[in-house]
């Protein structure tokens, strides 16, 4: 199992290319199931989750081919991948595959819409919380699907096809919004989704579906209207920049000091996080094709944040912000409202000398003068990168174990940080 070793203490200076968003790429890939034509995605990041979903789609009969380049020395050029689901050979998504990646459950929407049937394993538990799928099931039922839960599978059918309907989500869910929006594109009549998620990745998927011929109005607001069409065509779509990767590197610079330009991205994608990073003491300046991040010369200010659905502070940046706050000059309160068990990084940050106390969903982070390097364990994708941020300023060596979590969502992290002056290396094996 690979590990990452970081020797803390260096400022970051230079340029970091931001990759295409993982959380947009996954639903966009799944959208290829909706058409028998070719869907071409550009700016696809090279990540373990993307490879995993490619295998899952392959199991349904999706052909894919890759053109373009991987990350090159001078720029973060994502790959271009062509997906073709002309022959769907299997509408079952087995447990062995779905349990490895939760988002693969989302195939249920397109399969039902196009094939009128799907048998998809329930994803099961997850390191950051229970993560049920009740909203997906209720929403698809509102579009006319019949769904039974049998032996750990959601067995779904829609004889004669899905029909448009009105569904108000009881809780804002990114995944359910993606799935119901995709399903409704091929349903008969109009669908209205209320209390929909407003994340930029929802807009990106809606833009791609629209390019494929779907009729969608209101993506990015809490009410989305979809007028079903008989069939969708292929399209070419460029994946939007990863706002979580953007925020992560901005926080890394706020932590270490220095001057880094994040290219291929923009601060509008992360309004609440950009505000929090600025309040913490970094200067974010929009530049051509990116954002320049510098520290304002002072220390790190303590800033309270509460995670919320977009446009609130993203739960996917909570761990990284907590790492930043471990070195603040005060006490910061961090409240997690999306997932009930997303504080697994607290104990690992404590191993580096952080002072954090937990009470339910609230973490109280008291800044310390210095962190000290230690071996630590990555527990989930975002938690693992928070340990890297802490390691960048910790005295001595920090060894991050279980790096496969990082590889799920951060493209060539050690290369991107290393080129900006961080002393960071991957130890294979």
Instruction: Please name which of 21, 45, 42 lies closest in space to residue 266, comparing C-alpha atoms.
Output: 21
Give the C-alpha separation, 417 to 130, whole Å.
33
- Mask of contacts with ligand UD1, 325-364, x by CB under 6 A? -------------xx-------------------------
Distance of closest approach, residue 244 Cβ to ligand UD1, in angstroms: 7
Virtual CA dihedral for 396, 402, 403, 409, nearest 10 degrees? Answer: -130
Among 70, 86, 166, 171, binds ligand UD1 (CB under 6 A): 171
Among 10, 12, 17, 23, binds ligand UD1 (CB under 6 A): 23
Binding to ligand UD1 by residue 20, rule CB under 6 A? no
Among 44, 176, 216, 424, binds ligand UD1 (CB under 6 A): 176
Is 126 considered catalytic here?
Answer: yes
Binding to ligand UD1 by residue 316, rule CB under 6 A? yes
Instruction: Please name which of 285, 282, 363, 268 lies closest in space to residue 318, comparing C-alpha atoms.
Output: 363
Give the C-alpha separation, 411 to 12, whole Å.
18
DSSP code at position 99: T
Binding to ligand UD1 by residue 383, rule CB under 6 A? no
The window from 169-177, 256-264, 343-351, 418-426 that contacts ligand UD1 (CB under 6 A) reads: 169-177
Give the C-alpha separation, 381 to 84, whole Å.
29
Instruction: Please name which of 147, 143, 180, 178 lies closest in space to residue 163, comparing C-alpha atoms.
Output: 143
Binding to ligand UD1 by residue 164, rule CB under 6 A? no
Active-site pick, 75, 89, 126, 231: 126
Among 48, 174, 274, 385, binds ligand UD1 (CB under 6 A): 174
- Mask of contacts with ligand UD1, 264-303, x by CB under 6 A? ----------------------------------------
Give the C-alpha separation, 243 to 50, whole Å.
17
Total residues interacting with ligand UD1, rule: CB under 6 A = 20
Binding to ligand UD1 by residue 104, rule CB under 6 A? no
Long-range contacts of 232-236 (CB under 8 A, 24+ apart): 232/34, 232/35, 232/37, 232/185, 232/186, 233/35, 233/37, 234/35, 234/37, 234/38, 234/39, 234/40, 235/39, 235/40, 235/208, 235/211, 236/40, 236/42, 236/211
Give the C-alpha separation, 344 to 357, whole Å.
12
Give the C-alpha separation, 409 to 22, whole Å.
6
Binding to ligand UD1 by residue 131, rule CB under 6 A? yes
Binding to ligand UD1 by residue 107, rule CB under 6 A? no
Binding to ligand UD1 by residue 315, rule CB under 6 A? yes
Among 68, 124, 132, 286, binds ligand UD1 (CB under 6 A): 132
Among 68, 124, 125, 129, binds ligand UD1 (CB under 6 A): 129
Positions that interact with ligand UD1 (CB under 6 A): 23, 26, 102-103, 129, 131-136, 171, 173-176, 315-316, 338-339
Q: List residues with catalytic annotation.
A: 126
């Amino acid at each position: 199992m690979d590990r990452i070793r970081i020797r803390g203490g260096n400022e970051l200076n230079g340029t970091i290319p931001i990759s295409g968003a993982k959380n947009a790429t996954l639903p966009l890939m799944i959208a290829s199931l909706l058409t028998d034509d070719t869907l071409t995605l550009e700016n696809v990041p090279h990540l373990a989750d993307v490879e995993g979903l490619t295998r899952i789609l392959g199991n349904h009969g999706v052909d894919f081919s890759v053109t373009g380049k991987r990350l090159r020395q001078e720029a973060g050029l994502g790959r271009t991948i062509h997906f073709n689901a002309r022959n769907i050979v299997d509408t079952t998504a087995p447990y062995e595959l779905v349990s490895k990646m939760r988002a693969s459950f989302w195939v249920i929407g397109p399969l039902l819409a196009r094939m009128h049937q799907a048998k998809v394993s329930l994803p099961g538990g997850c390191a950051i919380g229970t993560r049920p799928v009740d909203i997906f099931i209720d929403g698809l039922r509102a579009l006319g699907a019949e769904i039974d839960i049998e032996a750990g599978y959601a067995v779904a059918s829609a004889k004669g096809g899905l029909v448009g309907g009105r569904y108000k989500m009881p809780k804002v869910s990114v995944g359910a919004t993606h799935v119901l929006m995709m399903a409704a594109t091929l349903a008969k009549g109009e669908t209205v989704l209320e209390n929909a998620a407003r994340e930029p990745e929802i807009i990106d998927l809606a833009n791609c579906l629209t390019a494929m011929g779907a009729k969608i109005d209101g993506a990015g607001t809490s009410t989305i209207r979809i007028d079903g069409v008989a069939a969708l065509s292929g399209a070419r779509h460029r994946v939007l920049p990863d706002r979580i990767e953007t925020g992560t590197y901005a926080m890394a610079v706020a932590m270490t000091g220095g001057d880094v330009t994040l290219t291929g991205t923009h601060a509008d994608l992360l309004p609440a996080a950009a505000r929090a990073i600025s309040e913490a003491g970094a200067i974010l300046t929009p530049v051509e094709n990116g954002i320049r991040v510098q520290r304002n010369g002072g220390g790190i200010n303590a800033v309270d944040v509460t995670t919320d659905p977009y446009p609130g502070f993203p739960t996917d940046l909570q761990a990284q912000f907590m790492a930043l706050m471990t070195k603040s000059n005060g006490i910061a309160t961090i409240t997690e409202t999306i997932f009930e068990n997303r504080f697994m990084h607290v104990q690992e940050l404590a191993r580096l000398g952080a002072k954090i106390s937990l009470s339910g969903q609230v973490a109280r982070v008291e800044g310390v003068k210095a962190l000290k390097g230690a071996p630590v364990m990555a527990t989930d994708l975002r938690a693992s990168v928070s340990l890297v941020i802490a390691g960048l300023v910790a005295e001595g060596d920090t060894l991050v174990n279980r790096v496969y979590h990082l590889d799920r969502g951060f493209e060539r992290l050690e290369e991107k940080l290393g080129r900006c002056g961080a002393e960071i290396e991957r130890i294979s094996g």
